[in-house]
Amino acid sequence: MTMTADTPVASESIFRRNLSNFAANRLAMACALIVVLFAVMAVFAPWIAPHDPNETDLFRRLQPPAWIAGGEWSFLLGCDALGRDILSRIIYGARISIFIGLAVIFVATTVGILAGLAAGYLRGWVDVLISRLVDILLGFPYLIFAIGLMAMMGPGLWNIILALAYKEWVIPARVVRGETLVTRELEYVEAARALGASRWHIMLREILPNVLSPVIVVATIRMAHVIILEASLSFLGLGVQPPTASWGSMVSDGRAFILEAWWVSTFPGLAILLLVLAINVASQGLRDAFDPRFSE
Amino acid sequence: MSLNKLLERIAQLLPVLLGVSVIVFVMMALTPGDPVQIMIGDQSITPEQEAELRRGLGLDRPMIERFFIFLGDAVQFDFGESFYHRRPVGDVIAERLPATIELSLVALIVALVTAIPLGVLAAIRKNSIFDRIATVGSLLGVSLPGFWFGILLLMLFAVHLHILPVSGRIGFDAEVRMVTGFLLIDTLLAGNLRAFGDALAHLILPAITLGLPMTAILMRVTRTSMLEVLRQDYVTFADAKGLSRRRVLFRHALKNALIPTVSVAAIETGSLLGGNMIVETVFGWPGLGRLVVESIFLRNYPLVQAAVLFYAVTYVLLNFIADLLYTVLNPRVKL
């Protein structure tokens, strides 16, 4: 890969070949489609959701799903303890999960790429500093680190993104550092150096395109993890605050009613499972297509 | 592995532990809200008393000095007083710790006992229906949100089937004298088999919930590593010698295939620590994880700080043990 990647045409054709490998994996493609559907649902939530997600109606308190006696087809998945439509809240909750997942991965990947490139290419004290910081952050169990930060910063959308991104960046940073250490010794990079290209030019224009594939694969794998972490924080009451609909807090709300209204917790949890499973299968397909070293 | 190498590895641990302590200290030092005001609550005290309290907590000193005091105290397991319990934080944590350790150990056992046979079977019967089901199962295992899975188990086994208890460590009617803090051991020491059964029943659902992601990961690792080993020449040779398939699999292949499993299990034991907070909250398990979550809402920061530090240090040490185990089990790898 690295031998031919120095010409744009070659690297593009490799990218296309990888993409067609991915497209040939029908299960992974189906799961990618599910992820896209969730994303569409999140973006167009105001048009898709049958009801206002925060509209309460105590006459509909714990109303069962449509197919159970007492249910109504206009409230397909039933209502929660405040009489809010569960389906509409799931549709709006997708916005929170997907937005936080994407935002954390975007921030973490950007910071991780820059840190990894700097550590791997510049070496010396920059590498020592970044690598030690990575080691220290890896010393925290993820959820505990995020919980500690949320305790410090207080709940809220942007605080969750920061709390998760503070640790998440170390993963792409490690990947990029490792790839950069190999790539920096290749002839075309030496040639660029000999031609007097600046460090930033070499890092961003010569090395970065070559290390992007593994970063994309890692980013998709981590996205599923981040969505579960966000839901876990929301479940504990440290995430997005009520009345905003988030899947984790919806599951938590339903805990008090598992004797009489199983649907309040079950459907939001099912939404998390479906999205995370789809991302996991799709990212596995992506990994097999883009990084054959990992395929079994 | 030589003693020098071991000492070198231990020396490498120190900056990480120091860095972890700095982050935990800064995390809590920057937390909004004045600890003295939180301690006082709605009691009325004079400004002099407040200043005295502030001096007593060391809050009038520069940040850097406070950090070294914190570090010195932490080394002696002195984390100050829990605002809520009005007792030393170390004592409160020590009281809750056995419940968390017991749950984690049982979850680890559940994961190992399930994952290894399933992983080996999936490898032996590669591409069979069983292998496919196991693969789907392991994907489900890592995709299931623990808190939701726990609630589903509760709904099924506790609420509908009434075969397992809903929450807590033991029934209210059981009287057990605490010796070790581990209920399974204490009930046996007391010769109270009924209470032992009750404690075990209380452990089943939380342990399965906590151990599920680990089971999924360990199963994948065992399967992959078993497949790798089965391709090795020495296995082919053992087969060619006419040894029974069982002997080849269990005496020759499995021993080597388990090296990565053991190492990953040690690393994943650290991740059980994070899972504990969720599982203990779902099942009302009176352990450290639940205590931390409650303390956050009570703004009981000395306890949160001590617990986060405790978790992080344990996690670093578990990773260190995982590294050592991998080296000891696999002499080809050098530290």
Q: Which pair of tokens denotes residue B286?
A: 């009176």
* Torsion sign, CA atoms B227, B228, B234, B236: positive
State the Cα–Cα distance between residues A25 and A286, nearest whole angstrom. 9
Contact yes or no for B287/B99 (Cβ under 8 A): yes
Burial readout A235-266 (b: 16 or more C-beta within 10 A, e: otherwise): bbbbbbeeebbbbbbbbbbbbebbeebbbbbb
pLDDT score of B52 more than 80: yes
Chain-chain contact of A236 with B277 (C-beta, under 8 angstroms):
yes
Task: Write out pLDDT tens, residues B250-284.
Answer: 877 888 888 888 888 887 887 787 788 899 999 99
How many CB atoms neighbour CB B272 within 10 A? 23
In this prediction, residue A117 has a pLDDT band, given cuts at 50, 70 and 90, of very high
Measured between CB atoms, which of A144, A236, A268 is closest to B311?
A144
Q: What residues pair up with A85 in beta bridges, in sequence order?
A: A79
Please spell the DSSP secondary structure of B48-97, one letter per residue. HHHHHHHHHTTTTS-HHHHHHHHHHHHHTT---EETTTTEEHHHHHHHHH
Give per-residue pLDDT as tens, A20-53. Answer: 888 888 888 999 999 999 999 999 999 999 999 9
Helix (H) or strand (E) holding B279: helix B254-282
Query: In the prediction, which pLDDT does A292 show?
Result: 57
Q: Are A230 and A164 in contact (CB under 8 A)?
A: yes
Domains of chain B by residue range? 89-329
Cα–Cα distance between B259 and B123 in angstroms, integer?
A: 16
Query: Please, what CATH class does the domain formed by B89-329 belong to?
Result: mainly alpha
Residue-level length of chain A: 296
ipTM of the modeled complex: 0.87
CB contacts of A252 in chain B (<8 Å) are 147
When pLDDT is averaged across residues B182-206 and rounded to a whole number, the result is 92
CB contact under 8 A, A236 and B316: no
**CA B58 – CA B81 distance, rounded (Å):** 13
Identity of the amino acid at B315: Y
Residue (of B223, B238, B229) closest to B256 by Cα position: B229
- Whether A12 shows a pLDDT value over 70: the answer reads no
Q: What is the pLDDT of residues B91-110, one digit of tens each?
A: 999 999 999 999 999 999 99
CATH number of A24-45+76-290: 1.10.3720.10
Q: Cα(B81)–Cα(B92) distance, rounded to whole angstroms?
A: 9
Which among B16, B140, B281 has CB closest to A139?
Answer: B16
Partners of A284 on chain B (C-beta within 8 Å) are 139
Which of B217, B145, B150 has its CA nearest to residue A273? B145
> Inter-chain contact B301–A151, Cβ cutoff 8 Å?
yes
Residue whose tokens read 């890692």: A218
B23 pLDDT more than 60: yes
pLDDT at A291 (0 to 100): 67
Contact A249, A225 (CB under 8 A): no
Query: Residue A185: what pLDDT?
Result: 86
Sequence length of chain B is 335
**Long-range pairs for B170-173 at CB < 8 Å and ≥24 separation?**
B170/B195, B170/B198, B170/B199, B170/B202, B171/B198, B171/B202
Domain ranges of chain A: 24-45+76-290
Q: Please calculate the CA angle A158-B29-B60 and round it to the nearest 5 degrees.
A: 145
Whether the per-residue pLDDT at A6 is higher than 70: the answer is: no
Site of tokens 């452990």: B203
Q: What pLDDT does residue A5 have? A: 44
pLDDT single digits (tens) B202-242: 999 999 999 999 999 999 999 988 888 888 888 888 888 88
Dist CA A34 CA B41 (whole Å): 51
Residues 285-314 of B with CB under 8 A from A: 292-293, 296-297, 301, 304, 308, 311-312
Is residue B115 pLDDT above 50, yes or no? yes
Query: Inter-chain contact A236–B30, Cβ cutoff 8 Å?
Result: no
Give the model's pLDDT for residue B312: 86
- The tens digit of pLDDT for each residue in B129-140 reads 999 899 889 999
Q: pLDDT: is B36 or B156 the higher one?
A: B156
Interface test with B, best of A137, A144, A230, A258 (most B CBs within 10 A): A144
Give the confidence band of B174 by pLDDT, cuts at 50, 70, 90: confident
**C-alpha B79, offset from chain centre:** 21
| Best CA proximity match to B167, nearest among B195, B212, B201 | B201
d(Cα B165, Cα B200) in Å, to the nearest integer? Answer: 10
DSSP string, A132-145: HHHHHHHTS-HHHH
Per-residue model confidence (pLDDT) at position B215: 93
Contact with chain A for residue B155, Cβ under 8 A = yes
